[in-house]
Structure 1
Amino acid sequence: MKTPILFAMAGLFLSLQLNAQTAEKAEPEFLKYQNSKWVDSIMKTLTPNERIAQLILVAAYSNRGEEHKQEILKLVKKQKIGGLIFFQGDPESQAELMNDYQQAAEVPLIGAIDAEWGLGMRLDSTISYPFQMALGAVQDDELIYKMGEEVARQVKRTGLHINLAPVVDVNNNPNNPVINYRSFGEDKQNVTRKGIAYMRGMQDHNVLTSAKHFPGHGDTDTDSHKALPQINHPFERLDSLEMYPFRELIDAGIGGVMVAHLNIPALDSTGVPSTLSKPIITGILKDSLGFNGLIITDAMNMKGVTTGNEPGVVDKKAILAGNDLLEFTEDVPRAIAEVRKAIKKGLITQKEIDARARKVLAVKQWVGLNEYEPTRTENILKYLNTPGAVLLNRQLVEASLTVLKNENNLLPLENLDELKIASVSIGTEEETVFQETLGLYTDVKHFQLAVDAGEEEIEAVEEALENYNLVIAGIHDQSKYPRNSVKLSEDLLDFVEDLAENDNTIISLFKNPYVLTRFDDIEETPALIEAYQDSEITQEMVAQLIFGGISANGKLPVSAGDKFKAGDGLEVEGGIRFKYTTPEDAGMNSEVLYSRVDSLMNEAINAKAIPGGQVLVAKDGKVVMYKAYGLHKYSDTIKVEKTDLYDLASVTKISSALPALMKLYDEDKFELEAGIDDYLPYFRHSNKAGIPFRQILAHQARFKPWIPYWKNTLRKNGSFRWNTFKKDSSARFPVQVSEDLWLHRNYKKKIFRAIKKSPLEKEAKYKYSGLVFYLLPSIVEEITGEDFRTYINRNFYDKLGATTLTYNPSGDFPLDRIVPTESDFLFRQKSIHGRVHDEGAIMMGGVSANAGLFANANDLAKLMQMYLNYGEYGGERYIAETTLKEFSKTQFPDNDNRRGLGFDKPNLKYKGEDNNTAKDASKDSFGHTGFTGTMVWVDPKEDLLYVFLSNRVLPTRENTRLYKLNTRTQIQQALYDAIKK
């Protein structure tokens, strides 16, 4: 069925239409089918009773077994009901059941569901989009339209046709127990815009929608599931506020309206529920508002309508009042019989029943049931949970986040090197996703306080927090739904008040915004974020907002007492640090990316090329993949975690002294045309004197590739010389090489002497050499007058939040977080764990620019992203753009040398499987690989970053399967393929 022009254009020009008054009232599309040939043909086959039955929706479940199925089949076959409304279950079972029910039906069944926030409202294993209160904060209504499109797609895929949404009640009563977070808010204009956007998104894709709960359920303090609420406002107020969104949606062409169970004296003085009120349904909804679409009752099993009314009888009353479709009829045979009696008594005519039946059949034709085909159930979960659907959910959550306070522009956080951060998750006993995500950005100490935390527990946390200059608190919900309630102990409430009064606090409320009134002085918090609900995605997003991974521009959809008013909300600009998201958010295909990388990693692990590893991929500053694979060692059961540290080997070359040299180059303290002897006078009378660093860093200085320093410590019998190693530490032997091996304090001089005396190659051409990188830390110290580690930590790692990027990690991290490397039976006679694998680096005390750094993929990626950004990250410039471009370009291409300054570059000519990078890596890309099985690479052309960490040298460096499989570059090519797709 072709989408009519009116609604096709609605999607294209939605933003214009939503902000303009509807020029002309639009009738529901399905009405054009009321007298179609198909409807005529069906009407001719229906008996009077069957025409009544078309007006009935029966409740169905996909999790209640065979007995329930047979009950429904009986109603379908014998009573010829018009349709079903599905409640709890799973999508595959529901689709299969609907197919069975349709097969049993003589007239196709209409299928309905309450999917206000998506199928997840009723069905497991499906997406729950943000509740409407959160959506009310979203400023881009096009996102709401897209949600409508996506929900329509999912609803249809489960075999259904009507979504009993959107809720367009204006929630102006904070104590409303039944609407509340289901409403877009208290501003009728905002509610209307959001309602129209959601409605159009669905109806443009032939899913009928039903605005609810007419004439407005927002100002009630009673749950109509349990009793009949009463609204005592005068007609003028009801007309101008409660009914306003319904009027606008009717004019915009909504197909259905659901009537609430309410007692509204100003509209009907008899006291009957609005569902049974002819003055309200016929007099106001039909006649005054001119609604000709499908009028649907709220569930007919709710206490608000059943009290004092018997099943069947109450359904008759609803029909007499003017409803077209009865939801959740409890006694179908009696309902039909009661309506037949009403016809005989002249309370309603058969003609009126027929007209309503035609309306229902017209809807069936509009949704395509005149050409019914069974719903396909294969791969239904994959179809429902597409990457696009998942991304939309994240986009909606991100767009909803509302910053209510941001004193001194605390958000997003800057100057990480000056912050000592603690997080407190309040209302939970375990580390939260919120805290886990905060930890992606820098070192954060986490605390938790349960709902019933007492004075002692709180005091212990308070005492610990005194050691930190920034506290990030998350107040979590204790229920599935963000109700207007707080279950925290009085002591915890006092604790939150104390936090709010500190000038070093960020508070994130993962709860209903009305709850803000329950916390004394929370409005005094320096930075306050309203997050609306406590889903894992929301927790992720708030953490990213705090550190500048994403922006915020949400506006509060309701007032929170006198603390905050509807419309409050500050804009916070993000995009300064990593955003952790999905591949589709960066224009990549997740199926291609995940399947290919997973396959290649599993191939390498199964071939025992590596025991495990980490892979991180970022594009456009967005981390789209960050996974850990396999084990620490082949022989153990310790799984690799994303927080584990790997020996970076030669990746150290571009991650330690090189950024220092570039910074010093910016400051005119380091020159590329100078030589080693200009900074280390010891080399003045050597064959290295005068060779410029441009040649040295490009590996074109005729230096020997390497020197096996450790071999010079051995006697002919294999024992160590007396002045090299001892089994215990002392003032003369302070350099630890292993648990029982300590190096002489002056041996570093011998290493320098060996480098100084090493001969030069005959020809000045490309030859990879690590010799100068042993010297670079000393050169940096000579230039700066500062300890090398202190310098790079202070100027780079601490500011980046790269807290695992470190030398000698066993001093700061437990061994079970450090992945082991080789079993060294040549030199150390030990399995290497927690210390650098490179023999020369460990003889330098573990601190060298040739090797020695450890990190996890995430922290290493921060440094690489700074390079990819040409010197900037986290809102701070580290290195000049011109400098990074100079260092990362090929220096001597005419000499068949691909290298930049320190950085590796793609081969000048592609070498097939022997190439050092993926085929599609651009000539502008740069990075490095490491002996232990590591690789980092960035490509400015695609704004692409790739980190691969492994320990391929375990158990021995002779394991070269990783090279033979070409795993690292094959994975890199998969990234480009995912972009192409």
Structure 2
Amino acid sequence: MTVEEKVGQLFVVEVYGQDANTVSPQSAARNQALYGVDTPAQVIGKYKPGGVIYFDTGRGADNLRDPRQIATLSNGLQLAATGQRKPIPLLISTDQEGGSLVFRLTAPATAMPGNMALGAGRSAAAAHRSAVVIGTELAAVGINQNYAPVADVNVNPANPVIGIRSIGENPDLAAELVAAQVDGYHAAGVAAVAKHFPGHGDTATDSHFGLPEVTHTREQLEAIDLPPFRAAIARGVDTIMTAHVVLRSVDPSGAPATMSRPILTGLLRDELCYDGLIVTDALDMRGATDTYPPNVAPVEAFKAGADMLVLAPQMDVAYAAVLEAVRSGQISNRRLDESVYRILRLKMRRGLFDNPLVDVELAATVVGAPQHLADAQAITNRTTTLVSNDFGLLPLSREPRNVLVTGWGVTTTRLIGEAITRRGQSVAVVETGLTPTQARIDEVAALAAGKDLVVVSTNNAANVNAATGLPTPSAAAQQAFVAALAATGTPIIVSGMRNPYDISRLPAVSAYLATYGYTAHAIEALGGALFGDINPAGRLPVTIPRSDGSGALYPFGHGLSYDGLAMMM
């Protein structure tokens, strides 16, 4: 390989468009702006990158529509890569974590539960099966690397970016389920990626928008953050992704972990004895770009110990900067070869040199297969947590009643309403948004006063501003909304649809459940739990603190069932 080809292998790029060779006005404009070429295949031809990452329309890449289209795109990109002077297949990646927050493939792809739901279910077998299903569907469409599982231990209820993406606050539970997921992805033939090293679970800043600092001592790091990564390494995880976080107990310089040699080489390589692939978190995130210009970030990350550079802004600048660093001796040829070797080794282990192409028609039968959907529902049914049922309202009888379903989420409230309607109830659905106005609160509270029951969905109603300690506007509005509903005297059931902490800042209600997500499977499980079709089995994977900071409102492991007993771990 030439030096230019080796440097190309270090980069993971995004491409715009649904087909490798089709020139469409919108995608061509984006590819031209980023790379100076029209099509995804031309991007591969220009840079000869080691990897591509797929995104949905949310980022504008529009790579992911249906199984046949995705498989065809993957095949086209692989043909472009293997048609070069050196035929080297691509690592094709995406973020399919499961759950409701970070996923790229939508229906008909199977929506497996997210990490915190798996943490509530407490089953390593379920975590393994979930990863097998996700991995099998990704492999079918030519995605051979998944940026999952999240290995962060979420010990900060105010964490704005991890939350339900984490298994929970217990390092041992996180380690067990992370290891199970690594095994599951590998069993499906997909490279697993444990993220975000050395741990993003105790931050109050989202590294997409700033540079967080983890203030853990070295002892806390060992006890809290590292166990899931150690477990992943023990299971032979293919890849570990870095975090844009400052960790002064390991690197007093204040450099983000992505650019920190003491963290990536000293801690991860030397102390944890990890010899797999290290990839950066996206280099276009503010946690990287606020400190490091486009010509500096990729060079510093590589010098720190990263092997692959994900989404470097200004690709021409980034590529030229790394190439010049090699030519000038700032990066040695030996160091370059070490990373290229790891990249090629992973591609070989995953069988990409033998056959990087997939069967387009088979993909349509694998993605969303009936057994996968059944597994998703069965696993999700074991995750719903009944946190409070102080007045014994649940489970509901099938006696007909007039029910108001309200709160956050147009699709969420509609699906909750449909689940309750199927169980013989007369249901009105009134969605209020994330931040209901006072007028809307008054309107819906008046409607609730004439109902037999109200079911309310909340989304991060316990959120606080990290700087002030006060509720965020959306949280304050949701708290006021639930208080107004409770004041009507109508029985109120609240379902916390995202982080489970909402109950800590709500008034007393008849019952509170945590679903850790709002997939269709999670909402069907909620409906079953409300009426006793499912006996709630989930247990809190985090502590719900009191709002005044005086201790635990509900401890880790708490969960009620309909035998009247609290299940404690």
TM-score, structure 1 normalization: 0.49
Aligned ranges for residues 264-283 of structure 1 at < 5 Å?
264-283=247-266
Q: Is the CA contact (8 Å cut-off) linking 1:275 and 1:297 kept in structure 2?
A: yes
The match for 2:484 is 495
After superposition, what is the alpha-carbon deviation per residue over 1:309-338, rounded to whole angstroms, capped at 9, x for unaligned?
222431111111111111112344443433
Q: Name the count of aligned residue pairs.
A: 515
CA distance 1:325–1:444, shift in 2 (3 Å): same
After superposition, what is the alpha-carbon deviation per residue over 1:858-916, rounded to whole angstroms, capped at 9, x for unaligned?
xxxxxxxxxxxxxxxxxxxxxxxxxxxxxxxxxxxxxxxxxxxxxxxxxxxxxxxxxxx
CA distance 1:570–1:352, shift in 2 (3 Å): same
Asked if 1:233 corresponds to 2:188, the answer is: no
Letter in 2 for 1:549: D
- Residue 121 of structure 2 aligns to a residue whose secondary structure is coil
Aligned ranges for residues 586-735 of structure 1 at < 5 Å?
none
Report the alpha carbon displacement of residue 491 of structure 1 after superposing the two structures with TM. Answer: 4.8
The match for 1:537 is 521
Q: Is the CA contact (8 Å cut-off) linking 2:171 and 2:228 kept in structure 1?
A: yes
Q: Is the CA contact (8 Å cut-off) linking 1:424 and 1:472 kept in structure 2?
A: yes
CA distance 1:442–1:332, shift in 2 (3 Å): closer
CA distance 1:230–1:446, shift in 2 (3 Å): same
Q: Is the CA contact (8 Å cut-off) linking 1:59 and 1:329 kept in structure 2?
A: no
Asked if 1:421 corresponds to 2:396, the answer is: no
- Residue 554 of structure 2 aligns to a residue whose secondary structure is coil
The match for 1:559 is 543
- Residue 70 of structure 1 aligns to a residue whose secondary structure is coil
CA distance 1:312–1:436, shift in 2 (3 Å): same
Report the alpha carbon displacement of residue 493 of structure 1 after superposing the two structures with TM. Answer: 2.8
The match for 2:560 is 570
| Correspondence for 2:165 among 182, 191, 210 | 182
Letter in 1 for 2:224: L
The match for 1:261 is 244
CA distance 1:81–1:536, shift in 2 (3 Å): closer
The match for 1:460 is 446
Asked if 1:99 corresponds to 2:75, the answer is: yes
Identity across matched positions, percent: 30
Report the alpha carbon displacement of residue 149 of structure 1 after superposing the two structures with TM. Answer: 0.6
The match for 2:55 is 87
After superposition, what is the alpha-carbon deviation per residue over 1:84-106, rounded to whole angstroms, capped at 9, x for unaligned?
11111324333222222221223
Q: Is the CA contact (8 Å cut-off) linking 2:406 and 2:430 kept in structure 1?
A: yes
Letter in 1 for 2:536: A
CA distance 1:234–1:457, shift in 2 (3 Å): same
Report the alpha carbon displacement of residue 496 of structure 1 after superposing the two structures with TM. Answer: 4.2
The match for 2:96 is 115
Aligned ranges for residues 283-302 of structure 1 at < 5 Å?
283-302=266-285
- Residue 382 of structure 2 aligns to a residue whose secondary structure is helix
Higher relative contact order (CA 8 A, sep 6+): 2
CA distance 1:560–1:100, shift in 2 (3 Å): same
- Residue 571 of structure 1 aligns to a residue whose secondary structure is coil
Whole-angstrom CA distance in 2 between matches of 1:213 and 1:155? 21
Asked if 1:325 corresponds to 2:308, the answer is: yes
Letter in 2 for 1:544: G
Asked if 1:50 corresponds to 2:30, the answer is: no
Letter in 1 for 2:560: L
Whole-angstrom CA distance in 1 between matches of 2:480 and 2:385? 27
The match for 2:468 is none
Whole-angstrom CA distance in 2 between matches of 1:445 and 1:50? 62
The match for 1:436 is 418
Task: Give ranges in structure 2 of 5+ residues lacking alignment.
Answer: 19-25, 32-36, 57-63, 82-86, 464-470, 547-552, 565-569
Asked if 1:509 corresponds to 2:491, the answer is: no
Report the alpha carbon displacement of residue 539 of structure 1 after superposing the two structures with TM. Answer: 2.5
| Correspondence for 1:412 among 379, 391, 395 | 395
Q: Is the CA contact (8 Å cut-off) linking 2:51 and 2:92 kept in structure 1?
A: yes
The match for 1:750 is none
CA distance 1:511–1:109, shift in 2 (3 Å): closer
The match for 1:313 is 296
- Residue 403 of structure 1 aligns to a residue whose secondary structure is strand
Report the alpha carbon displacement of residue 118 of structure 1 after superposing the two structures with TM. Answer: 7.5
The match for 1:369 is 352
Whole-angstrom CA distance in 2 between matches of 1:174 and 1:537? 25
| Correspondence for 1:520 among 498, 502, 507 | 507
Asked if 1:486 corresponds to 2:486, the answer is: no
Letter in 1 for 2:118: L
Report the alpha carbon displacement of residue 271 of structure 1 after superposing the two structures with TM. Answer: 1.6
Letter in 1 for 2:78: Q
CA distance 1:233–1:463, shift in 2 (3 Å): closer
After superposition, what is the alpha-carbon deviation per residue over 1:34-54, rounded to whole angstroms, capped at 9, x for unaligned?
xxxxxxxxxxxx112212221
Report the alpha carbon displacement of residue 476 of structure 1 after superposing the two structures with TM. Answer: 4.4
- Residue 229 of structure 1 aligns to a residue whose secondary structure is coil
Letter in 2 for 1:441: R
The match for 2:43 is 75
CA distance 1:157–1:196, shift in 2 (3 Å): same
Q: Which moved more, 1:513-522 or 1:112-121?
A: 112-121
Whole-angstrom CA distance in 1 between matches of 2:164 and 2:158? 11
CA distance 1:112–1:491, shift in 2 (3 Å): closer
The match for 2:318 is 335
The match for 1:751 is none
Task: Give ranges in structure 1 of 5+ residues lacking alignment.
Answer: 1-45, 575-981
CA distance 1:495–1:169, shift in 2 (3 Å): same
Letter in 2 for 1:101: L
Report the alpha carbon displacement of residue 449 of structure 1 after superposing the two structures with TM. Answer: 6.3
Whole-angstrom CA distance in 2 between matches of 1:455 and 1:488? 9
